[in-house]
Structure 1
């Protein structure tokens, strides 16, 4: 049980002051016959105290001592309560600060995760775009012989692909992403490469002087796969390029239309 008492100007007087007033008040009780009357301050000071005066004074002193003891207990309890309240307030503040720091850390982590995911997504999109891109098989060249051109030079009577002007040793590039399904001697095509593209079509590169890839190897758009030359049935160095629906001869489609449909300007 906590005790409280007023402070400041309303604080309970000291025991000495209370005792003085209480003893002085005893004299006022003479009219009731409890104690003798005090005629004057001098008489009160010299007259011997009666047993009643001594008992009453003793009771007053004991009461004051008890009151002081109770007041001291109340002060101690108040001090303990104030310390506990201050500690609780400090703990609450520390808890709030910790929660705020945790919230800010979580927000920072979520922001970093979003930025990282955005970068990863952008990188994937860029890589997908790169892999879906198409390029010309020979950089800066031009078509020297058109598709389906007629001549006795070809066993079928017409050209099954297009020829790109290219001196021997000119770099040849995969027009898109895919997997090499043939790399080596190809009869009239000389040294040739056939690539199965990611879209399921096939591209062929013939009359090459050297090959830079092997069967089963994956290639990316623009990757160098060899050098042009004049191997096989040719009248001079160039690159023979075909687009096909299958890996074998006879499944050719218009290579100009094929490249243009994939964004290549030829």
Structure 2
């Protein structure tokens, strides 16, 4: 008697059906990624040691870092060069300033020395006729002088010899002076007066400032004179009769006579 398989809800699945279902289940698990959690340790290890795909990202990062380092190094070098250049510029500017200060100080020192030398020169006195000597002394007696004595001293000088101011002062008289002939009177810087008589010519004018050794005329024999010479007087005032010893006056001002 032949057996037949019962049908209905209590019917078990066939082997083929079970196999098909298993395959479907595995496919479903693989599709959803669950297989990763169900895989055996061997399969997981095998998955871990699979080579990583080289995308070039690591090389790009390394190259980028190297370029950044180079740019940074260049920036640092440029900054150092700029700092050195600035320091050198400051040093050069300071050296230039110091050099200018030294030049200025040296110039000022020269100017001070020149002013001092000029001041001393202006305060010095000299002989009215260079290299001459006194031929007639002060207060020498004789009838040729109206006062009865010589009110000055005579310096030996040939006609036309250069006559100079003995010191710094201002001309208060320049022209004919009667018995003095052509004469020049100078008010000196210290308030005293000097007179130069019997000149053959006059080279200054009233109101003119003169310095020591400046030419004021040339010697001669004009006025009450017995021959060419220079009559020199020193006075305390501008008027006749205020005369003082010319030799003592010149010596008091450092002149060897």
**What is the TM-score of this pair, normalised by structure 2?**
0.77
> Which residue in the other structure is 1:32 paired with?
41
Please report the RMSD computed on the Cα atoms of aligned residues, expressed in angstroms.
2.3
- The offset of 1:53, in angstroms, is 6.6
Gaps of 5+ in 1: 1-29, 38-51
Gaps of 5+ in 2: 1-38
- The offset of 1:125, in angstroms, is 2.1
CA 1:34–1:247: 2 relative to 1, 3 Å = farther
Bigger radius of gyration: 2
In the alignment of these two chains, the number of paired residues is: 219
CA 1:122–1:36: 2 relative to 1, 3 Å = closer
Distance 1:70 1:251 in 2: 113
> Which residue in the other structure is 2:198 paired with?
207
Distance 1:83 1:183 in 2: 87
- The offset of 1:36, in angstroms, is 6.2
> Per-residue displacement from partner, 1:220-240 (whole Å, max 9, x unpaired)?
211221111121122222211
CA 1:249–1:76: 2 relative to 1, 3 Å = same
Secondary structure at the counterpart of residue 241 of structure 2: coil
> Which residue in the other structure is 1:10 paired with?
none
**What is the TM-score of this pair, normalised by structure 1?**
0.75
> Per-residue displacement from partner, 1:13-32 (whole Å, max 9, x unpaired)?
xxxxxxxxxxxxxxxxx973
Choose from 196, 220, 233 the match for 1:242. Answer: 233
Alignment of 1:166-177 (within 5 A): 166-177=157-168
Distance 1:261 1:178 in 2: 17
Choose from 99, 119, 123 the match for 2:90. Answer: 99
Matched, 1:83 2:74: yes
Distance 1:220 1:85 in 2: 71
Secondary structure at the counterpart of residue 221 of structure 1: coil
Distance 1:216 1:77 in 2: 88
Matched, 1:260 2:254: no
